[in-house]
Chain A
């Protein structure tokens, strides 16, 4: 009996002594499947600043990451912060699962035009923008020349289609890579064309759906036309798979972000050009951001907010953009003289920022994808006129808005 009493006493004493030194933990989910070196540097600095606090940074692939973050929050076990697509923020905010964030005036002034629109809803900012991309058209000049054409940037859809058709007809490759798989970047590809034709998805100020327009119908028709000179079975492909086809010389061109050059084989002679303009618009691009959202109800909300701010602030953010080959999210030239994006290649991605359109924010962001992808797939399959498919998609978008 005495031994039992001793054991209990020691256990209680031990627990009492352990409690004060028990580390606090900030749980962070990082979409993309890896913790990037530039982010790890900040995380280490954060842990050094807050002794006894550890950051449990969990890298999760994009395919399941956002669902995991959202489901954990909905189930009452939220992570501290998560790096996720900004398109999810409206749904998270309106569901009361994330906290509004405060970005200082100085930092707000530094962001590229349009960036803050991708994280703002109802007059409040819901995430720290952390990654930014614009898109351009990559063209394999070897295939263009093999098709008997000069490898110069097509300025319009007409020129682009003519080039793709020439490659398709005169080489063993398909003219262009077109996505049609039920995946977010299928919608993204389409929005690049839509924004280059003067179209829009919704009115940013009122939220009214503006998708059902002549510009969208024209864009969808063009997308269907492109599918006719694209790789076989576009509905089996998302952008990552197009990169493989491009590297294998099986498609003549496709749309990708600034990281594209780093993914392509060195032996491909390519040009990178702005997305050609549609008949009703001028060259544009889709502006996509990913953000760091701070979840409501985690054990360490304040620490999570602090970490989110550190990750997305000035120099740390610059290091990330530069090391990962992202479109600069801020106008770093105002901060420093020597920036990484002064080359012609980078200007192809930086110049269209002002004329780009945002990835729309929807309360049901999956409806956005389902609606637009449904129209694209319907067009590729020939299951209705572009006008009908756009009208059907607009209905789905209205339900999800």
Chain B
């Protein structure tokens, strides 16, 4: 015991500092291990078993790659993956564009700017479930506001249930996701815009640069790090977005809004096939991992091009 203590005893000031740092992060590291690494390991282990309702607490058999073969080889899998990426790109794209427009407007010196900034918040502040139930009512065919509106202006000649058809259900889910996700993007962009040095704009203004030119050559490059970081985070969140789709459509009609995360839930929790569900969860992690690597590579190139925080050369 004493020899162990002797070994652990720091010999230099640098070692003391290092050990102190480790001691400080140890509690957090233990919690992280408990709530992140262990579940991740368990999910990975479960994915190679036939765990189901009767064998969750023990007794599941090891089935090797069978779950993976079934999941990837399933006839619906390619369509689900394609749909998930389409959902992600569409939704994130709109969030980025609307967020950028919103942030630009909110950053400008207009009357009532404070109120407008406050008005941006509700979709983000309201609990997602409550917001989604509101949208379910809006999309309803017989007493929904949207259906009545499009009928009133003559787009349809009768009620239209937005969530009852494959295409309209999918795009309705995208609209709701964008509605919920845009405020946060807007606020992040706004914060980044406010950090852009004013003298850059003043110098450009003196040189006769137009508004559009200043936005394109100063604002965009300056906030680019925020844009790329936000886009990556938003992509991951949207890829894994569950509650919005589940509350609106439960993945239907006929699978039209079933993304990978919905498929994972349906398999693991809805059908009690925990092993097969864990397989899908692992696949989600792998797909997102690959996507992130590709994205970060692109990000690295953008960083070089825009010189991170500097003006475009």
A interface residues (Cβ-Cβ under 8 A, vs B): 67, 70-71, 73-76, 91-92, 94-97, 180-182, 231-237, 245, 248, 250, 364, 366-367, 374, 377-378, 381, 383
Contact = CB atoms under 8 A, between A and B. Distances in A.
Interface residues of B, number: 26
B142 interface: yes
Contacts of B141: 231-233, 236
14 contacts: A67-B269, A74-B53, A74-B272, A76-B56, A94-B54, A95-B53, A180-B253, A232-B158, A233-B141, A233-B160, A234-B164, A236-B141, A377-B254, A381-B254
B206 interface: no
A235 B53 contact: no
A96 B252 contact: no
Interface in B124-180: 140-142, 158-161, 163-166
A380 to B, nearest CB: 8
B91 interface: no
Contact of B160 (A232, A245, A383): A232
B161 to A, nearest CB: 3
B253 A245 contact: no
B250 interface: yes
Nearest to B139: A236
A302 to B, nearest CB: 22
A235 B57 contact: no
B151 to A, nearest CB: 10
Contact of B164 (A73, A236, A374): A236
Contacts of A92: 53
B219 interface: no
Contacts of A181: 252
A232 B158 CA distance: 8
A97 B53 contact: yes
B57 A233 contact: no
Contact of A76 (B52, B57, B270): B57
B271 A364 contact: yes
A64 to B, nearest CB: 11
Contacts of B272: 70, 74, 91, 364, 366
Contacts of B164: 180, 232-237
B140 A236 contact: yes
A287 B253 CA distance: 27
B165 A235 contact: yes
Given A180-B164, A182-B252, A234-B164, A366 B57 contact: no
Nearest to A92: B53
Given A73-B53, A74-B272, A91-B53, 11 more contacts: A74-B57, A75-B57, A92-B53, A95-B55, A182-B253, A232-B141, A233-B160, A233-B165, A236-B163, A237-B161, A237-B164
Contact of B252 (A67, A232, A235, A237): A235
Contact of A250 (B142, B250, B253): B142
A366 B276 CA distance: 15
A133 B252 CA distance: 28
Contacts of B252: 181-182, 235, 377
A364 B141 CA distance: 33
Nearest to B147: A232
Given A245-B142, A364-B271, A235 B253 contact: yes
Contacts of B270: 67, 366
A77 B7 CA distance: 46
A235 B161 contact: yes
Interface in B20-66: 52-57
A189 B165 CA distance: 20
A315 B269 CA distance: 38
List 4 A-B pairs, minimum CB-CB distance, nearest first: A233-B161, A95-B54, A233-B164, A236-B164
